[in-house]
Structure 1
Amino acid sequence: MRKIIKNTAIIEDQWTLLDADVELNVALNTQQAIVPLALWQAHKEQLKAINPIGVWLEAEQEIESLLDDLELFTVIALNFPVFTDGRHFSSARLLRERYAYSGEIRAIGDVLRDQLFFMQRCGFDAYALRSDRCPIDALKSLTELSVSYQAAYDQSLPLYRRRSA
């Protein structure tokens, strides 16, 4: 079973991430499935029977397409096709701050150690690293920086405001 980082621990991944070309009958027979957005949109009524269920979005897909169904998802996985594509940093922050999503937000795809601290600051709480990366080493990156200057999801005040208080 694949290992992921969730919060500040390395755990066995209990979820099955289904490919974009998966068929509906496969999804319906999978426990704890994370389905592609296109499959969810095409077969929402049947997939609602799966509990728990998650959904994953490609970088070009907007989270606003999920707003009516947010409370149904235990996991929302955001795919990073390449490590230089940072569009889902904003998606995670919007999910947490604007839409008050309290479930798991998972980074999938080309996820590297150097990104985890910043992903955490945006609201991610689970990370499925690339298969060629060590989760033990990557876990250290979440605690390497002790002070952040800017405001973010995890700290609403910038450093200068925290110091003056």
Structure 2
Amino acid sequence: MQIIKDKVIIDDTFTPLADDAPLAGGDISVSLARWKNDREALLARPGKVGVRIRASDSVSDLAGDLKHIDLIELDFAEFADGRLFSQAWLLRGRYHYQGEIRAAGHYLTDQTFYLSRVGVNAFQPAKTEHLNTILANLNDFSVKYQPSIH
């Protein structure tokens, strides 16, 4: 599957792992609950690890572990919930997270510019045919009135 990362379309190297699936090698992403339960095993295995965050999760639960996490995936289950915008801002602004923050799922393509302003640097839309639209939307505005997180 392809994603946008740092304004370039690339192949995704991360495989989402279900909470009950055996740990595998390679780059994987797990739920916050799985991270909390299997942290040591996840850190001991080969490959990068990412954590999937839902709108109801708190990124403060990850604050002490961010240096070990390569990807924070913001799981947009529906486009009407804006709490993940705040989660992205907290990751960059309060916790100074330097890794990949990825918006994944059901967000509006029109929101991508604003997601990038709060720290999201990768996009995985629910429909891959939206990749080019998202890429174009990242350059929607040439003048910005408010400061961004980066």
TM superposition score category, shorter chain reference: over 0.9
Which residue among 34, 41, 45 is the counterpart of 1:46? 41
Residue 10 of structure 1 aligns with which residue?
9
Question: TM-score w.r.t. structure 1 length?
Answer: 0.85
| Aligned-partner SS, 2:70 | strand
Conserved? CA contact 1:112–1:130, under 8 Å: no
Residue pair 1:111, 1:127 contacting (<8 A) in 2 also: no
SS in 2 for 1:43: helix
CA distance in 2, matches of 1:110, 1:35: 19
**Residue in structure 2 matching 1:77, options 69, 73, 96:** 73
The 2-side partners of 1:54 and 1:47 are apart by: 10
* Structure of larger gyration radius: 1
Structure with the larger RCO, 1 or 2 (CA within 8 Å, 6+ apart): 2
Partner of 1:92: 88
Deviations 1:102-150 (A, max 9, x none): 0000111213311110000000000101126421122100012111212
- Give the conservation status (yes or no) of the 8 Å contact 1:15–1:34: yes
Find the residue that maps to 2:74 and give its secondary structure.
strand
Alignment RMSD (CA, Å): 1.3
Q: 1:84-105 deviations in whole A, cap 9, x for unaligned? A: 1110111111111111110000
Letter in 1 for 2:108: L
Give me the identity figure in percent: 39
After TM superposition, give the deviation of residue 81 of structure 1 in Å: 1.1
Aligned counterpart, 2:122:
126
The normalised TM-score by structure 2 is: 0.93
Residue identity opposite 1:9 in structure 2? V
Runs of at least 5 residues in structure 2 that lack an aligned partner in the other structure: none
In structure 1, runs of 5+ residues without a counterpart are 155-165
Taking a change above 3 Å as real, the CA distance of residues 11 and 54 of structure 1, as seen in their structure-2 partners, is: same
- What is the DSSP-based 3-state SS (H/G/I as helix, E as strand, rest coil) of the residue aligned with 1:44? helix
What residue number does 2:100 align with? 104
